Structure 1
């Protein structure tokens, strides 16, 4: 097993025999007293209205900003996130750099585990990306 990196209550492991992804970790071990579950965040303004319709890059930035706000409201930091799920309408490989830039804007060097799913649609027309999260604090 490759050496793990310990960040407070989170240990990140990139196992031998698996690739070393640039933006996520294969395994996160978390110990803490509280779990925080954040619902899927979308490109909404404070009134719940879609902003940046049709613009994946702008929506991704807004989604990760909203995720950061939700975490902060629960007393959690981005470096305490253990897993995210990213839902992308009509996902194509060329979307990855756009999503990764927005992701790094919130997480920096921290690499929680993730799942990225291409989906046909989200909750309403115009939404292109949604991200939920689990944190341990």
Structure 2
């Protein structure tokens, strides 16, 4: 299976992600929204967007690994962030950077969307991450 990530000429730059992913393969892996919880369901990094982004990405990596995938197979990431404001981008990206090497996150990221929401399903949850990967 191959994933090709790129940003065609003329698309907005710089951004911390590629605009396009082209993948060949027949198995789709969809990882449900992952949040900042440990395996026992206890909150991790309450009140800390940076820490929550990092933990949610770690949990996403575990979901991918369970299906035999990794971030190198990911063609789409969707981030939902509560109380989003542009000045939060530094903490958000710091959380990504904190785990990029550990998790093998490509830099720039695969195509990604960051969607601001009023709230997620529990009051301490500030970020949720969904991933789509393609495997042979």
TM-score (norm 2): 0.87
Give the root-mean-square deviation of aligned CA atoms. 1.5
- The structure showing larger relative contact order (alpha-carbon pairs under 8 Å, at least 6 residues apart) is 2
2:71 aligns with 78
Matched, 1:129 2:88: no
Does the 8 A contact of 1:79 with 1:110 survive in 2? Answer: no
1:5 aligns with none
Partners in 2 of 1:130 and 1:53 — Cα distance?
A: 13
Deviations, residues 31-78 of structure 1 (Å, cap 9, x unaligned): 112110000000011112222211111111111111111111110011
1:18 aligns with 11
Match of 2:59 among 63, 66, 76: 66
Q: For residues 37 and 21 of structure 1, do their structure 2 counterparts lie closer, same or farther at Cα, with a shift above 3 Å needed? A: farther
Aligned residues: 130
Match of 2:95 among 74, 79, 102: 102
SS of 1:54 mapped into structure 2: coil
Question: Greater CA deviation, 90-99 or 58-67?
Answer: 90-99
> Which runs of no fewer than 5 residues in structure 2 stay unpaired?
none
Partners in 2 of 1:11 and 1:37 — Cα distance?
A: 18
> Which runs of no fewer than 5 residues in structure 1 stay unpaired?
1-7
Match of 1:56 among 49, 53, 58: 49
Partners in 2 of 1:119 and 1:41 — Cα distance?
A: 15
Partners in 2 of 1:22 and 1:30 — Cα distance?
A: 21
Residue 13 of structure 1: CA displacement?
Answer: 2.5
